[in-house]
Structure 1
Amino acid sequence: MTRFSNIALAAAATLCPLSAGADNLTTTVTNSYGLPGGLIDMPTAEMAPDGQLSATAFYFDGFGRSTLSFQITPWLSGSFRYSGTEDLTPQFSTYYDRSFDLKLRLLKEGTYTPAVAIGLQDFLGTGLLGAEYLVASKSFGDRLKVSGGFGWGRLGSRNNFDGFGTRDPFSFAGVGTGGDVDTSNWFRGDIGVFGGFTYDITDRLTFAAEYSSDGYDIEQAAGVFRRGSPYNFALTYKLTPDANLRVYSLYGEKVGVSLSFGLNPKNMPVPGGIEQAPLPVAVRDPESARDLGWATQPTARNALSEQLQDMLAKDQLDLVGLELSDTTAHVAINNTTYDQPAQALGRTARIMTRALPASVETFRITFSEKGGMPGTTVTLRRSDLERLEHAPADQTLAAASFDDSLRYGGMPAPVVDRFPRFNWAIAPFTRISLFDPDNPVRADVALRFEAQVELGKGWVADGGTSVKLFGNLDKTTQVSNSRLPRVRSDAAIYAREDGPRLDWLTLSKYHRLAPDIFARATVGYLEQMYAGASAEVLWRPVNSRLAIGGEVNYVQPRDFDSGFGLRSRRTVSGTIPEFNGHASIYYDFGNGFHGQLDAGRYLAGDWGATISLDREFENGWRIGAFATKTDVSAQDFGEGSFDKGIRITAPVSWLLGTPTRQSPTAVIRSLTRDGGQRLNVRGRLYETVRPSRQTDIADSWGKFWR
Structure 2
Amino acid sequence: MKLRFFVVALLPYSLAHAEPRYTQSDFGGVGLLQTPTARMAPAGEISFNANRTDPNTRYSVSLQPLDWLEGTFRYTSVTNRAYGPEELSGNQSNKDKAVDFKVRLWQESHWAPEIALGFRDVGGTGLFSSEYFVADKRFRNLDFSLGIAWGYIGNRGDLRNPLGFLGDSFNNRRDTTTAGDVNTSMYFRGPPSLFGGVSYQTPWAPLSLKVEYEGNDYQHEPQNNNQVQDSPINIGAVYKLNDSIDLSIGWERGNTALFGITLHTNFVSRKAPAKTFDPPAQPLPTKATAMPLNQIDWVSVSQQLEKNAGYKVERIAQRDSELTVYGEQSKYFYAAKGVGRASRILDNNANSDIQWFTLVNKRYDMPIEETSVPRSTFRDVVNNEQDLVNLHRTTEINRASPRREKTLYQQKPDPFTYGFGLGYQQNMGGPDGFLLYQVSAYAEGQYRFTPGTWASGGISANLLNNYDKFKYDAPSGLPRVRTDVRKYVTTSDVTMPALQLNRARQLDQDLYAMVYGGYLEPMYAGVGGELLYRPMGERWSIGADLNYVRQRDFNQGFGLRDYRTVTGHITTYTKLAFDLDAAVSVGRYLARDWGTTVDISRQFSNGVKFGGWVTRTTASSEEYGEGSFDKGIYISIPFDEMMSVSTMSRANIGWAPLTRDGGAMLHRQYSLQTMTDGRNKEAFYENFGKITE
TM-score by length of 2: 0.90
Deviation at 1:360, TM superposition (A): 1.8
The reply on whether 1:564 has 2:531 as its aligned counterpart is no
Query: What corresponds to 1:210 in structure 2?
Result: 212
Q: Choose from 326, 334, 355 the match for 2:349.
A: 355
**What aligned pairs does 1:616-655 form with structure 2 within 5 A after superposition?**
616-655=603-642
Deviation at 1:220, TM superposition (A): 8.2
Partner letter of residue 156 of structure 2? R
Percent identity (aligned): 29
Partner letter of residue 188 of structure 1? R
Q: Distance in 2 between matches of 1:24 and 1:273?
A: 34
Partner letter of residue 631 of structure 1? T
Structure 1 contact 268–655 (Cα < 8 Å) conserved: no
Q: Choose from 53, 75, 78 the match for 1:82.
A: 75
The reply on whether 1:43 has 2:36 as its aligned counterpart is yes
Q: Distance in 1 between matches of 2:686 and 2:448?
A: 28
Query: What corresponds to 1:593 in structure 2?
Result: 580
Q: Aligned pair in 2 of structure 1 residues 555, 22: CA closer, same or farther (>3 Å)?
A: farther
Query: What corresponds to 2:546 in structure 1?
Result: 552
Query: What corresponds to 2:262 in structure 1?
Result: 260
Q: Distance in 1 between matches of 2:517 and 2:528?
A: 6
Structure 1 contact 434–671 (Cα < 8 Å) conserved: no
Q: Choose from 646, 657, 663 the match for 1:670.
A: 657
Q: Distance in 2 between matches of 1:231 and 1:88?
A: 26
Partner letter of residue 100 of structure 1? V
Q: Choose from 487, 490, 496 the match for 1:493.
A: 487
Query: What corresponds to 2:224 in structure 1?
Result: 222
Q: Aligned pair in 2 of structure 1 residues 122, 186: CA closer, same or farther (>3 Å)?
A: same
Q: Distance in 1 between matches of 2:623 and 2:218?
A: 33
Deviation at 1:605, TM superposition (A): 0.5
Per-residue displacement from partner, 1:153-207 (whole Å, max 9, x unpaired)? 2232226211123354343xx433x222233332232121122222233212222
The 3-state SS of whatever aligns with 2:650 is coil
Q: Distance in 2 between matches of 1:256 and 1:334?
A: 54
Q: Choose from 668, 682, 685 the match for 1:681.
A: 668
Q: Aligned pair in 2 of structure 1 residues 412, 74: CA closer, same or farther (>3 Å)?
A: farther
The reply on whether 1:399 has 2:394 as its aligned counterpart is yes
Partner letter of residue 278 of structure 1? A
The reply on whether 1:278 has 2:293 as its aligned counterpart is no
Structure 2 contact 305–313 (Cα < 8 Å) conserved: yes
Query: What corresponds to 1:17 in structure 2?
Result: none
Q: Distance in 1 between matches of 2:108 and 2:373?
A: 47
Query: What corresponds to 1:150 in structure 2?
Result: 148
Structure 2 contact 527–549 (Cα < 8 Å) conserved: yes
Q: Distance in 2 between matches of 1:589 and 1:203?
A: 39
Structure 2 contact 174–186 (Cα < 8 Å) conserved: no
Partner letter of residue 625 of structure 1? G
The 3-state SS of whatever aligns with 1:656 is coil
**What aligned pairs does 1:323-338 form with structure 2 within 5 A after superposition?**
323-338=317-332
Q: Distance in 2 between matches of 1:699 and 1:22?
A: 38
The reply on whether 1:139 has 2:138 as its aligned counterpart is yes
The 3-state SS of whatever aligns with 1:310 is helix
Structure 1 contact 330–412 (Cα < 8 Å) conserved: no
Once the two structures are overlaid, the 10-residue window that deviates more, 416-425 or 339-348, is: 416-425
Once the two structures are overlaid, the 10-residue window that deviates more, 629-638 or 105-114, is: 105-114
Query: What corresponds to 1:122 in structure 2?
Result: 121
Once the two structures are overlaid, the 10-residue window that deviates more, 444-453 or 192-201, is: 192-201
Q: Aligned pair in 2 of structure 1 residues 415, 553: CA closer, same or farther (>3 Å)?
A: farther
The 3-state SS of whatever aligns with 2:483 is coil
Deviation at 1:452, TM superposition (A): 1.1
Per-residue displacement from partner, 1:52-88 (whole Å, max 9, x unpaired)? 1011112122211111111121122111111122345
Q: Distance in 1 between matches of 2:334 and 2:577?
A: 17
**What aligned pairs does 1:19-418 form with structure 2 within 5 A after superposition?**
27-37=21-31, 39-88=32-81, 94-142=93-141, 144-158=142-156, 160-163=158-161, 164-165=163-164, 166-171=170-175, 174-176=176-178, 178-201=179-202, 202-219=204-221, 222-270=224-272, 273-274=275-276, 275-282=278-285, 284=287, 294=292, 300=295, 303-315=296-308, 316-370=310-364, 372-389=365-382, 390=384, 391-408=386-403, 415-418=409-412
Q: Distance in 2 between matches of 1:586 and 1:413?
A: 37
Q: Aligned pair in 2 of structure 1 residues 627, 74: CA closer, same or farther (>3 Å)?
A: same
Deviation at 1:272, TM superposition (A): 6.0
Q: Distance in 1 between matches of 2:559 and 2:84?
A: 41
Unaligned runs of 5+ in 1: 2-19, 570-575
Q: Aligned pair in 2 of structure 1 residues 212, 326: CA closer, same or farther (>3 Å)?
A: closer
Partner letter of residue 44 of structure 1? T
**What aligned pairs does 1:392-541 form with structure 2 within 5 A after superposition?**
392-408=387-403, 415-473=409-467, 475-541=469-535
The 3-state SS of whatever aligns with 1:343 is helix
Once the two structures are overlaid, the 10-residue window that deviates more, 547-556 or 645-654, is: 645-654
Deviation at 1:447, TM superposition (A): 0.4
Deviation at 1:230, TM superposition (A): 1.1
Q: Distance in 2 between matches of 1:534 and 1:83?
A: 41
Structure 2 contact 20–199 (Cα < 8 Å) conserved: no
Deviation at 1:216, TM superposition (A): 2.1
Q: Aligned pair in 2 of structure 1 residues 91, 385: CA closer, same or farther (>3 Å)?
A: closer
Unaligned runs of 5+ in 2: 2-13, 86-91, 165-169
Q: Aligned pair in 2 of structure 1 residues 36, 392: CA closer, same or farther (>3 Å)?
A: farther
Q: Aligned Cα RMSD in Å?
A: 2.7
Q: Distance in 1 between matches of 2:347 and 2:408?
A: 21
Query: What corresponds to 2:7 in structure 1?
Result: none
Partner letter of residue 122 of structure 1? D
Q: Distance in 1 between matches of 2:331 and 2:406?
A: 21
Partner letter of residue 468 of structure 1? N
The 3-state SS of whatever aligns with 1:582 is strand
Once the two structures are overlaid, the 10-residue window that deviates more, 308-317 or 62-71, is: 308-317
Partner letter of residue 63 of structure 1? N
The 3-state SS of whatever aligns with 1:440 is strand
Structure 1 contact 484–637 (Cα < 8 Å) conserved: yes
Deviation at 1:102, TM superposition (A): 1.5
Q: Distance in 2 between matches of 1:294 and 1:208?
A: 73
Structure 2 contact 83–95 (Cα < 8 Å) conserved: no
Structure 1 contact 53–71 (Cα < 8 Å) conserved: yes
Q: Aligned pair in 2 of structure 1 residues 374, 415: CA closer, same or farther (>3 Å)?
A: farther
Per-residue displacement from partner, 1:2-53 (whole Å, max 9, x unpaired)? xxxxxxxxxxxxxxxxxx999997734111111212x211121222122110
Q: Aligned pair in 2 of structure 1 residues 334, 139: CA closer, same or farther (>3 Å)?
A: same
What number of residue pairs does the alignment pair up? 665
Structure 1 contact 26–48 (Cα < 8 Å) conserved: no
Query: What corresponds to 1:694 in structure 2?
Result: 681
The 3-state SS of whatever aligns with 1:396 is helix
